[in-house]
């Protein structure tokens, strides 16, 4: 069986746009040898959660970057000093969403990503590995073309895909764009036909080649917390329901095996296109009259709790009564595997000062750690340095 061959020095990763550390957890789940040596984000609440769980200060604000305000203020020298050979990044998605007006590279929120792309050739040693996560639509953006053109010029081999956690056996539909790039040891190719940017292909199957795997997600009952159905804090308020004439929101039951993507708006108690709502009563009722919202009141509708969303995003959270898994093997087979709820520390825990709304917002902004771990393990860290794009 093919292994993630550690023919290289241990990974020293930098995590840009780190939020609550979804990429850091994904890195742990990949089982690759190495560490995330530093992280960068401007969100103070996200940074507080990150510090709480990893015991590391994002940005090293007080030590190296007393001037740090934003990723686009980092110089090549600032980055060089980490001697990192891997970049993990999940830049803001608003430039590529309809809600964010789709301004793409003209959106001020794309500036930090464009700055990092620009800095790549100025580094004394560009990273050997690059991983990027973003939303659907990034694959058709100008920002992506700018990134691919730079990666081509620096001799990276690239793989791109659009995948949902459902394809990995997780009961959450969160279709996302992922890019994995490894720098070839040979210099830039003189042959323009090998330019990836000109013949790019975005994979939508998992794995990219061979037989597609199909894992059935487990029932939602497995991720639900006990004793929250009656809690006022999570109940969908009647007055909001009554105002929701003809909002066809996504109602799911504990026997279902799918939820829709949780966005950061879920934290503001939105329930239309912001994530699924759980039906806790009259569960034999499965057809809903959204034009008569008062009929929805007896269904006992409630929001998913932050812990439940964290489980659906495959963050490691303390197990339900069972013992945690032993730490993952440093070398793991590089073939797809079926999903197992991660239960090994470091866990995702929220400091008590972080409110439920803030937790939902941070989780809505984050990503699926298992999908990241699988892509790192089976694609990025499996790529050989001489490999020409051959998937």
Contacts with ligand SAM, residue ranges (CB under 6 A)? 17-23, 40-43, 46, 70-72, 90, 92-93, 112, 365-367
Nearer to ligand SAM, 249 or 370 (CB): 370
Query: Tokens 């929701």 appear where?
Result: 244
Distance of closest approach, residue 204 Cβ to ligand SAM, in angstroms: 21
Say which of 93, 161, 369, 378 is annotated catalytic: 93
CA-wise closest residue to 50 among 86, 77, 15: 15
Nearer to ligand SAM, 296 or 380 (CB): 380
**Does residue 162 contact residue 204 with C-beta atoms inside 8 Å?**
yes
Closest residue by beta carbon to ligand SAM: 19
For the chain, the first-to-last Cα distance in angstroms comes to 18
Distance of closest approach, residue 359 Cβ to ligand SAM, in angstroms: 11
Q: Tell me the CA distances in angstroms from 139 to 142, 245, 315, 355, 377, one per residue in order.
A: 9, 35, 26, 34, 22
The Cα 241–Cα 31 span in angstroms is 45
Q: Is 369 known to be catalytic?
A: no
Give the contacts of 321 (CB within 8 A, at least 6 positions apart). none
The Cα 70–Cα 112 span in angstroms is 7
Nearer to ligand SAM, 223 or 369 (CB): 369
Nearer to ligand SAM, 13 or 23 (CB): 23
Distance of closest approach, residue 286 Cβ to ligand SAM, in angstroms: 34
Distance of closest approach, residue 147 Cβ to ligand SAM, in angstroms: 16
**Does residue 366 contact residue 71 with C-beta atoms inside 8 Å?**
no
Distance of closest approach, residue 284 Cβ to ligand SAM, in angstroms: 38
Nearer to ligand SAM, 36 or 71 (CB): 71
Give the contacts of 16 (CB within 8 A, at least 6 positions apart). 39, 40, 71, 87, 88, 89, 90, 91, 112, 116
Distance of closest approach, residue 285 Cβ to ligand SAM, in angstroms: 36
Q: Residue 62, CB half-sphere, CA atoms under 13 Å: how many?
A: 2
Q: Tell me the CA distances in angstroms from 70 to 36, 74, 115, 116, one per residue in order.
A: 19, 7, 11, 11
Nearer to ligand SAM, 41 or 160 (CB): 41
Nearer to ligand SAM, 162 or 285 (CB): 162
Distance of closest approach, residue 36 Cβ to ligand SAM, in angstroms: 12
- Annotated catalytic residues are 93
């Amino acid at each position: 069986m093919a292994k993630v061959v550690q023919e290289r020095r241990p990974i020293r990763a930098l995590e840009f746009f780190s939020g609550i550390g979804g990429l850091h957890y994904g890195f742990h789940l990949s089982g690759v040898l190495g560490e995330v040596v530093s992280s960068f984000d401007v969100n103070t609440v996200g940074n507080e959660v990150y510090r709480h769980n990893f015991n590391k200060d994002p940005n090293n604000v007080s030590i190296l970057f007393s001037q740090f305000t934003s990723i686009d203020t980092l110089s090549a020298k600032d980055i060089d000093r980490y001697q990192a050979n891997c970049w993990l990044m999940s830049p803001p998605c608003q430039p590529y969403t309809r809600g964010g007006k789709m301004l793409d590279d003209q959106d001020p929120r794309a500036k930090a990503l464009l700055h990092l792309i620009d800095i790549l050739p100025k580094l004394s040693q560009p990273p050997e590995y690059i991983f990027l996560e973003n939303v659907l639509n990034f694959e058709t953006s100008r920002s992506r073309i700018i990134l691919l053109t730079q990666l081509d010029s620096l001799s990276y081999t690239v793989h791109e895909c659009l995948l949902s956690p459902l394809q990995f056996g997780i009961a959450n539909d969160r279709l996302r764009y992922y890019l994995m790039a490894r720098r070839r040891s040979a210099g830039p190719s003189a042959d323009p036909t090998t330019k990836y940017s000109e013949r790019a292909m975005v994979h939508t199957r998992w794995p990219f080649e061979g037989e597609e795997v199909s894992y059935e997600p487990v029932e939602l009952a497995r991720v639900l917390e006990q004793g929250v159905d009656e809690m006022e804090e999570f109940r969908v308020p009647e007055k909001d329901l009554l105002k929701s004439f003809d909002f066809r929101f996504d109602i799911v039951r504990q026997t279902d095996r799918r939820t829709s993507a949780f966005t950061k708006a879920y934290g503001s108690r939105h329930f239309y296109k912001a994530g699924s709502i759980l039906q806790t009563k009259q569960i034999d009722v499965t057809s809903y009259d959204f034009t008569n919202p008062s009929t929805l009141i007896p269904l006992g509708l409630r929001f998913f709790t932050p812990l439940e969303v964290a489980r659906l995003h495959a963050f490691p959270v303390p197990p339900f009564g069972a013992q945690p898994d032993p730490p993952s093997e440093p070398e793991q087979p590089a073939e797809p595997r079926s999903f197992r709820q991660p239960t090994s520390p470091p866990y995702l825990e929220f400091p008590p000062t972080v409110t439920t709304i803030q937790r939902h917002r941070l989780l809505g902004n984050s990503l699926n750690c298992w999908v990241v771990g699988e892509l790192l393990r089976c694609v990025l860290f499996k790529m050989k340095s001489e490999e020409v794009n051959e998937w």
